[in-house]
Amino acid sequence: MHQQSFTIGFRKLSLLTHQLEASLFLPVDRRKAFSFFEDPRNLFEITPGWLDFRMLDPEQSQVHEGAEFDYTIKWLGITVRWKSRIVNYHPPFSFTDVQLTGPYRSWEHLHVFEETEGGTIMRDTVTFTLPLAAVVIFRPVIKRQLRDIFSYRASRIDEWVRGVMIPSGHPQ
């Protein structure tokens, strides 16, 4: 993966609310990039093993407006249940997942796919609000964890693009 193809940064919006912005260049067309993210089974492929990600309803096989997904992850070493809903679904341009229940007070993840010369730029904007207890104690840990998760994700997506990784639910 080229160093310039992945960028990530954080902004503090308030004491409790932060925003992660990441972008990744993919040398594939927008429809192919979007279709990879439409299949929730691929989330397992791009999530670091140390998060112990588990889909609780593996039969839910397609992202669409109103779709809900239940899973567990290890958050700061504790297994927590996370439920999300897909909103503002506009294939192949964008969709948003919002946390209904989970470790954050709120979590909204906008995925945008922009055509560019030679491929697609995938932009992620995650606006999240930490629980009050996490602000003082865990803020640096959470920021590092999110940076590690999105960096791992970028490297796995790069492997998919190069044909090294064959996703669970995505035809080559």
Collapsing DSSP states into helix, strand and coil, what is residue 5?
A: helix
Q: What is the pLDDT of residues 24-48, one digit of tens each?
A: 999 999 999 999 999 888 998 999 9
Residue 170 has pLDDT above 80, yes or no: no
When comparing pLDDT for 108 and 134, which is higher? 108
How is 32-78 classified by DSSP, letter by letter? HHHHHHH-THHHHHTS-GGG--EES-TT-----TT-EEEEEEEETTE
Q: What is the pLDDT of residue 19?
A: 97
Using omega within 30 degrees of 0 as the cis cutoff, is the peptide bond preceding 92 cis?
Answer: yes
Mean pLDDT to the nearest integer, 18-28 = 96
Q: What is the pLDDT of residues 126-149, one digit of tens each?
A: 999 988 777 666 677 888 889 999
| Helix H or strand E segment including 147 | helix 132-161
Residue 15 has pLDDT above 90, yes or no: no
Instruction: Kindly report the average pLDDT of the chain as a whole number.
Output: 89
Contact 1, 24 (CB under 8 A): no
Q: What is the pLDDT of residue 62?
A: 84
Q: What is the pLDDT of residue 26?
A: 95
Percent of the chain surpassing pLDDT 90: 68
* Domains, the chain, ordered by start: 3-161 (3.30.530.20)
Query: Which pLDDT band holds residue 59 (cuts at 50, 70, 90)?
Result: confident
Mean pLDDT to the nearest integer, 155-166 = 80
Structure tokens at 166: 């064959």
Name residues whose C-beta falls within 8 Å of residue 79's C-beta, 6 or more positions apart in sequence: 52, 72, 73
Q: What is the pLDDT of residues 74-102, one digit of tens each?
A: 987 899 999 999 999 999 999 999 999 99
Q: Compute the distance between CA of residue 34 and CA of residue 95 in angstroms, rounded to an integer.
A: 9
Query: Which pLDDT band holds residue 2 (cuts at 50, 70, 90)?
Result: very low
